[in-house]
Structure 1
Amino acid sequence: MKAAYITIHDKIKEQIDKGIWEIGQRLPSERDLADEFGVSRMTLRQGITLLVEEGVLQRKVGSGTYVASTRVQEKMRGTTSFTELVQLQGKTPSSKLLSYIKTKPNEKEISQLGLERGEYVIRMERVRYADTVPVVYEVASIPERLIKNVRKEEVTNHFFKTMTDNGYRIGKSHQTIYARLANEKVAKHLQIAKNQAILALRQVSYLEDGQAFEYVNSQYVGERFEFYLENN
């Protein structure tokens, strides 16, 4: 038998899915909702808190609880750039470059990118946005030989497009997703609380010939981004 707050969670989510409460709409007060569902305010609050944690609802201090805006979604199949993902959902992508350096690779970069000793990588650190809302903090490493004749702006603004424009054919990617807590630096850039739970993603992207061309460590705000699987 379901716990009472899980039942409330499911009922509210069902009403949102049916469009009874639309994106951005303010929900009735907790007292009114508790009366509507015939439960205590504590039970009602537990159900709402779970929906907030899932990113379905959003609390605004001094204002109330609202249906959250649609999150950016990434289908875990194939290789797609963040810019394309955001644009496909009708949002405007942008990014803030924090650092961009040519440097000797660390052991992880050598392993993941299949580099020879003596090669260099371009390592860039940035925050990426959807409609001015920070969604992901990422550190990307790229073999320097692949982009040594490419302008910095082309790499930082639309890297995947730049690769295809320069004759490279993009293939598959390997992705690992796990949970972690945001440290102080990441939390500041993503405008969230320190130690808030976030989604972390390690991804290696390959060209069609099997050559790795990008190794990325990304940290996503869970309530603003979600992954979903699609099988053939």
Structure 2
Amino acid sequence: MEAAYITIHNKIKDDIDLGIWKIGQRLPSERDLADDFGVSRMTLRQAITLLVEEGVLTRKVGSGTYVASTRVQEKMRGTTSFTEIIQLQGKIPSSKLLSYTKTFPNEKERQMLQLDAKESIIRMERVRYADDLPVVYEVASIPERLIKTFKKEDVTNHFFKTMTDNGYRIGKSHQTIFARLANDKVSKLLQIGKKQAILALRQVSYLEDGQAFEYVNSQYVGDRFEFYLENN
């Protein structure tokens, strides 16, 4: 039988997904919720604590428990740009460019992008934001021949849109997600604690003709971003 606190956890999460509890809305007190669910406050607190740890809820000292407003969701189906994901969540996307360099690819980049040894790439390093809150640090590698006529700001600010505006048809992507600890550089850029656990994503994006056009390594703040799967 499912533990009582898991049942409560699932019910509250489902209500949030359905919009019964709105983003930023304050939940009733633990006493009132415990009475509503017919459980002890200890059991109710277990469910709330788990939801806080998952980033679904947030506690404000002296104020109460609220539906979190900082987490962004990405549906793991198809290929979607970060800008589109953030906009679909009703947030304002922005980026800080750390570097933008024409260089020769390393062995991994050559393999992922299916490049010849003498081909060059553009490697750009960015921090991506949602409503001015840092969400992800990423290093993207792009075959230089595909974008050599593009303006730098068009590539760094809205790369996928620039590709489609120039006649490219974007197809599928391959993604690998794993957990890791943030190093000192990433911790500082993402404004999180040193050695905090983060979600790492490696993604290769392809055009409809099967040509790889971007290889990106991203590191997401776990309590500000989540991935979910949707099957047809």
Which bin holds the TM-score, normalised by the shorter protein?
0.7 to 0.9
Give the equivalent residue in structure 1 for 2:25. Answer: 25
User: Which residue is 2:171 aligned to?
Assistant: 171
Q: Deviations over 1:87-143 (max 9, x none)?
A: 223222111111111222111101100111122211111111122222211110111
**Equivalent in the alignment of 2:144:** 144
Of 118-127 and 17-26, the range deviating more from structure 2:
17-26
Question: Hey, what's the Cα distance between the residues in 1 that align with 2:21 and 2:161?
Answer: 38
Normalised to the residue count of structure 1, the TM-score between the two structures is 0.87
What's 1:132 paired with?
132
Distance, in Å, in 2 between the alignment partners of 1:150 and 1:221 is 31
Q: Distance in 1 between matches of 2:212 and 2:42?
A: 52
Gaps of 5+ in 1: none
Aligned pair count? 232
Matched residue of 1:136: which SS?
strand
- Listed as ranges, the gaps of 5+ residues in structure 2 are none
Given the two structures, how large is their TM-score scaled by the length of structure 2? 0.87
Is the 8 Å Cα contact of residues 23 and 70 (structure 1) preserved in structure 2?
Answer: no
Match of 2:156 in 1: 156
Please give the alpha-carbon distance, in whole angstroms, between the structure 1 residues aligned to 2:125 and 2:7.
43
Distance 1:42 1:230, change over 3 A: closer
Q: Secondary structure at the match of 2:186?
A: helix
RMSD (Å) for aligned C-alpha atoms: 2.3
Aligned positions of 1:1-232 closer than 5 A: 1-17=1-17, 21-34=21-34, 37=37, 39=39, 41-69=41-69, 71-232=71-232
Q: Tell me the amino acid that sits aligned with residue 150 of structure 1.
A: F
The percent of aligned pairs where both chains have the same amino acid is 84
Residues in 2 aligned to 1:32 and 1:40: alpha-carbon distance in whole angstroms: 11
